[in-house]
Chain A
Amino acid sequence: MWSFYTFILLIFGFVSVLDAKSSSGNSVLVILDPARQPDYSIFFNGLKEKGYDLTFRAPKDEAPVLIEDDIPSFAHVILFAPDSKHFGKDVTPQALVQLLSSQTNLLIALGQKQNLVTSLAPEFSLILPPPGSSLVSYFPERKEPPTVVPIDVPSSSKILSSSSSPVWFSGVPFALGNNPLVFPILSAPAEGFAADSEGSTADALFDAADKGGEGLWAGSQLAVAAGFQALGGARATWVGGVELFSDEFAKKEISKGVKSGNQQAAADLAAWTFQESLVLRIDSTTHHLVGTSVPKEHYTTNDVVEYVAQISRFNPSKDKWEPYSGLDDLQLEFTMLDPHIRTALPPVPGSPGKYAVTFRVPDRHGVFKFVVDYKRKGWTHLQSSTTVPVVPPRHDGYPRFLSAAWPYYAGAISTSLGFFLFSAIYLAGDPREGNLRGLRAKSTKAQ
């Protein structure tokens, strides 16, 4: 019986390994107190079923290391140690930033205590409330304490499944700076605010706000989960409370008979962080004169040129890159120092993943670039730049017969013809000068 079960498990495991993967690797390091590991079993099992290879490490452990010989050891790192004061000596803010710049994705949970994570957060333009604060909301009326808050999933969210029910949250809300690389994934409720404890009174809140500056953390401008996409493409997700991922909240009912959206939201957050969802890439770009298909090494001013880009999106359920025609706001720039032309790069109907535009090259010569720079919050940034010189027409590239110069052409051709006719007559003439003599005879007669 045992072996049968193991067999089933093996099969299941094998199928699930094939089932879904990240576009950037499957190895995950989880930094978590081993005693708390069972609290998040639903979340971690979900990841394992998707095919991730989880390695656990206690915060104070020295191994396995994050970066070995300057090469990150894992494709993704989950940092679920908001309450740990001390970490292994290779877990430093610098190491986490280095991970991010070497394409490793981070999923980080914040806590109320000050530690490495809270000191790293400002580098990502997160503005945290004073230590010890947590999100408090008395709305809606419920039997849970005010620090356990149900949060609606925004219907416009690209990262979280909009159909899921509200998510239980308990933890720290944070404000976001105006850095465009960071964006809220889950906003705090408008009625919520950050407070030291439940016992804080209206007076204390008033005094905090009255101090000015960042005195009060309140309202829907705060976020409880935020995404940050580094310029290199790696993703970091910040979550205000690790309880969002817990089994307790995943099983907790949001209202009678309705399961909370935590399990789905946690999986969606991980899917975005681990580069499963909203991942794009440019497969190829090419350019050519209209009517031809071979790219030219340089173009002449006023040429009509077609630019074509092929774009794919990662499909995690098939672990495959698939042509994607869903971008309707892609733009192409033709730049020399500044963009001379910026035009929409629309998808070509009928050919999936293909985006093309035709335009006339400006009448300025110089070294130009075809630039595609597509940055949208949540999506992978697409960047492509192709350098191409634009030259003035060659000496023989101008029109040969301008109407303004017709007299000149006519004159030259007529002179040529005259020369030819004269030569023909002269060569074919009678050498005995009979004609001349005849002419002379005529003229004497006339006299």
Chain B
Amino acid sequence: MKLFAPLLLLAATVQASILTLQSPKFTISSKNGDQLRSEPISMTQKPSPPLQLSPADTLKLSFQIVDKDNGKAVQPQQVFLRFYDEESGEEGIQPLRVASTGKVKFELNMSKPPLSLPPTSTAPLQVTLLLGSSSHAPLKVQLFDLYVPASYPVVPHPDEASFHLLPEIQHTFRPDPKLPPRFISAVFAGAVVFGPWVVFLVLLFTISPRIPRLFSPNVLPFTLSLGAFEYLLYQYWVSLKLGDVLLYGAVLGLVTLFTGRRALSSIAEKRMGAKP
């Protein structure tokens, strides 16, 4: 029996000390005093539709805190209204003043919102009443959902953004340069090439020169080295660097010097020989 005594005592105190609200109700009135909505609050379910306050409206809330068993007025230590925005996680707590009769009145004037009202988003504020007392069991009542005009958003710390995923940035590239149609380029390239060549070939066939010494060992190396020079210049355009070109050009030049001397001297010899 001794063992159970504290437990029984505890059970007894728990039994004896339950708080309840008497005649809880809310009233919404407009700026000029018209009552827009006035309803008693049920302890078990939230009023539907949720409460709506426009910027000039006033919400009045009143109730009396009593002991459930003997109906006596109670003055708990903690009488808080908690406003909670589920979407942003913002929370505000407003302590309320209790008269010695246990009566509590609260007025929320939206033209002068209290500091405790948290920054709001589009979601409704969940309004909860918290009653805590050292002599009674605590009581938590979900009063109602409340739509209030949206506030300015909270200004975060300037560095706060860098602690979250930042928006992606893509570079806008310059558009590719526009080229004329390839067909036109090809036509003009053709014109440039074929015009002179047609004239050249026509004239060439008109005079149809004899070329008896095309493959002569004296002349051919010089012709080939001239061709090699042309090819070197082409390679310079396509891939080679200036240093390479100068090196190859110097070597080729030396070769050309000798082949040229030989070719020209052989031609001169022929001409001298041909002279009567």
Q: Chain A 208-229 against B: per-residue CB contact (8 Å), 1 yes, 0 no?
A: 1100110010111100000000
Q: Chain B residues with Cβ under 8 A from A190's Cβ? A: 82, 84, 91
The answer, yes or no, to whether B39 is at the interface (CB within 8 Å) is no
Interfacial residues of chain B within 210-225, with CB under 8 A of chain A in the complex: 210-214, 216, 219, 222-223
Other A-B pairs, 12, CB within 8 Å; known A420-B226, A429-B211: A136-B78, A138-B134, A141-B138, A331-B168, A342-B167, A342-B169, A343-B168, A407-B189, A424-B223, A425-B204, A431-B270, A435-B208
- Given contact pairs A141-B14, A342-B169, A404-B185, A193 touches B78 in the complex (Cβ within 8 A): yes
Chain A residues numbered 429-443 whose CB sits less than 8 Å from any CB in chain B = 429-432, 434-435, 439
Contact of B182 with A by CB under 8 A: yes
- The answer to whether A201 and B180 touch across the interface, beta carbons within 8 angstroms, is no
Cβ contact within 8 Å between B173 and A302: yes
**A410 interfacial by beta-carbon distance below 8 Å:** yes
Q: Does B241 contact A (CB under 8 A)?
A: yes
Q: Does A205 contact B (CB under 8 A)?
A: yes
Measured between alpha carbons, how far is A180 from B164 in the docked complex, in Å? 10
B103 at the interface (CB under 8 A from A): no
Pick the residue among A141, A179, A205, A416 that contacts B233 (CB under 8 A). Answer: A416
A137 within 8 A of B: yes
Chain B residues closer than 8 Å to A418, beta-carbon distance? 196-197, 200
Q: Which B47-99 residues sit within 8 Å CB-CB of chain A?
A: 75-80, 82, 84, 90-98
Instruction: Indicate if B12 sits at the interface (CB-CB under 8 A).
Output: no
Q: How large is the interface on A (under 10, 10 to 19, 20 to 34, 35 or more residues)?
A: 35 or more
Neighbouring B residues of A218 by C-beta, 8 Å: 80, 93, 95
| A432: B residues at CB distance < 8 A | 270-271, 274
Which of B23-31, B142-150, B155-163 contacts its partner?
B155-163
A137 neighbours in B (Cβ, 8 Å): 132
Is B1 an interface residue, CB under 8 A from the partner? Answer: no
A138 to B271, CA, bound (A): 127
Residue A413 at the B interface, CB < 8 A?
A: yes
Given contacts A178-B156, A190-B82, A431-B271, contact A209 B167 (CB under 8 A): no
Residues of B within 8 A of A (CB): 10, 14, 75-80, 82, 84, 90-98, 115-116, 130, 132-134, 137-138, 140, 156-157, 159-160, 162-163, 165-171, 173-174, 179-180, 182, 185-186, 188-193, 196-197, 200, 204, 207-214, 216, 219, 222-223, 226-227, 230, 233-234, 237-238, 241, 263, 267, 270-271, 274
Q: Is the CB of B163 within 8 A of A341?
A: no
26 of the cross-chain contacts (CB-CB < 8 Å) are A138-B134, A139-B130, A139-B138, A180-B159, A191-B132, A193-B78, A193-B93, A201-B75, A202-B78, A202-B96, A206-B95, A209-B116, A329-B165, A343-B168, A344-B168, A360-B171, A375-B163, A377-B163, A403-B182, A406-B186, A410-B189, A411-B192, A416-B230, A428-B223, A430-B213, A434-B210
A140 within 8 A of B: yes
Residues of A within 8 A of B97 (CB): 202-203, 206
> Is A423's CB within 8 Å of the partner chain B?
yes
**A427 interface residue (CB < 8 Å to B):** yes
B185-A403 in contact (CB<8A): yes
Known: A178-B156, A202-B97. A435 touches B209 (CB 8 A): yes
Task: Give the complex CA separation of A219 and B96 in angstroms.
Answer: 15
List of A residues within 8 angstroms of B133 by Cβ: 138
B166 close to A427 (CB less than 8 A): no
A416 touches B234 (CB 8 A): yes
User: How far is A180 from B212 in the complex, measured between Cα atoms in Å?
Assistant: 93
Contact A406 B156, CB 8 Å, known A138-B78, A339-B169: no
Do A202 and B237 form a contact, CB below 8 Å, given A343-B168, A427-B219, A428-B212? no
Residue A283 lies at the interface, judged by CB distance under 8 Å to chain B: no
- The reply to whether A139 and B167 form a contact with Cβ atoms under 8 Å apart is no
Query: Would you call B163 and A376 a contact (CB within 8 A)?
Result: yes
How many pairs of residues, A versus B, come closer than 8 Å at their CB atoms? 209
Residues of B within 8 A of A434 (CB): 210
* In the assembled complex, A446 has its CB within 8 A of some CB on chain B: no
Which residues of the other chain, B, contact A431 by a CB distance below 8 angstroms? 267, 270-271, 274
Task: Pick from A200, A216, A420: contact of B230, CB below 8 A.
Answer: A420
B219/A428 in contact, CB under 8 A? yes
Interchain CA distance A420-B232 in the complex, whole Å: 13
- In the bound complex, what is the Cα–Cα distance between A67 and B182 (angstroms)? 77
Least CB distance, A376 to chain B, in whole angstroms: 6
- Nearest-Cβ distance from residue B42 to partner chain A, whole angstroms: 22
In angstroms, Cα B28 to Cα A211, docked, is 26
Closest-CB distance, B195 to chain A (whole angstroms): 10
Q: In the assembled complex, which residues on chain B have CB atoms less than 8 Å from the CB atom of A420?
A: 223, 226-227, 230
| Contacts A138-B133, A404-B179 given; does A191 touch B162 at CB 8 Å | no
**Are B93 and A409 interface neighbours, CB within 8 A?**
no
- Does any Cβ of B come within 8 Å of A64's Cβ? no
Check: A373 CB closer than 8 A to any chain B CB. Answer: yes
Partner of B171, one of A340, A376, A377, A424: A340
Nearest CB on A from B78, distance (A): 6
Q: Is the pair B77, A141 in contact by a Cβ cutoff of 8 Å? A: no
A445 at the interface (CB under 8 A from B): no
Residue pair A373, B138 in contact (C-beta under 8 Å): no
Are the C-beta atoms of B185 and A406 separated by less than 8 Å? Answer: yes
Residues of B within 8 A of A146 (CB): 132, 134
A394 to B209: give the CA distance in the assembly, Å: 48
